[in-house]
Structures are given as structure tokens and as C-alpha cells.
Amino acid sequence: MSEELPAYAERVLEVAERIPPGRVMTYGDVAEWLGEGGPRQVGRVMALYGGAVPWWRVVRADGLPLPGHEVRALEHYRTEATPLRLTAGGEPRLDMRRARWDGDPGQGPGQDGSRDEAHT
């Protein structure tokens, strides 16, 4: 593998690094913010190169932690106080309404001042 990342991958990883602690963007959000590619392309970049950036902040639109990485992702979410909610079955899931970041640098974690049961 080449040591140089493809240009698109570099741009995706730069967006991932900009997401503040406690916030998330979906794969589609990242593609839209960049104005190129789509959720699958962003997911592919994250799968291949995302280990060096806060990968847990780029998520599926349904708020479920990435399969196979649930435990590690949930540790990060709890450490960063990312808004979570519990499903009817008691499983933690991202509260996308509160956790989603739109790319505005002034929009950090906890803007609404609320706290969630899943963090206690």
C-alpha cells in the first residue's frame, strides 16, 4: 500500500478530525459536507484509513454503534458525554437528534445542557 493517502480519503479524515468530542456526523453528513462522494465512499475510507482519527464520531444514520466495535465506541461515547438513549430492549444507541453535528465550529457538546440516562 502506498504511504500517501488518496486525496478523497484525506478530506474525509480531515472532517472526522474536526468533529468535536461528544458529537457525531453520519457517513452521509460527511459526504454532504465535502460536496462529493456518498455514504458508502465515506464508510470505505473510514474502514480502510479511519483508525488514526476519532472513527467513533463518524456513524451510521440509525445511531447504532458500528458492528464489531460497539464496546470500544460506547467507551468513547461515555467518556466524551456523547448523547445516548436506550432502545426498548435496553441497548444503548446514539441520540442522533442531540449528538449530530452539522459542521458548525461553534456547536460543541452539551449545547442543550441535558444529560442522558445512558451516561449514568
Tell me the pLDDT tens digit for each residue of 34-72. 999 999 999 999 999 999 999 999 999 998 888 899 999
More confident residue, 108 or 94: 94
**pLDDT in the model for residue 94:** 96
Q: What does the DSSP assignment read for 80-120?
A: HT--EEE-TTS-EEE-HHHHB--S-TT--TTTT----GGG-
Q: How far apart (Å, rounded) are the C-alpha atoms in residues 33 and 5? A: 20
As a whole number, the mean pLDDT across the chain is 87
For residue 106, pLDDT beyond 90: no
Q: How far apart (Å, rounded) are the C-alpha atoms in residues 10 and 17? A: 11
Tell me the pLDDT tens digit for each residue of 2-21. 467 899 999 999 999 999 99
More confident residue, 90 or 111: 90
Residue 2 three-state SS: coil
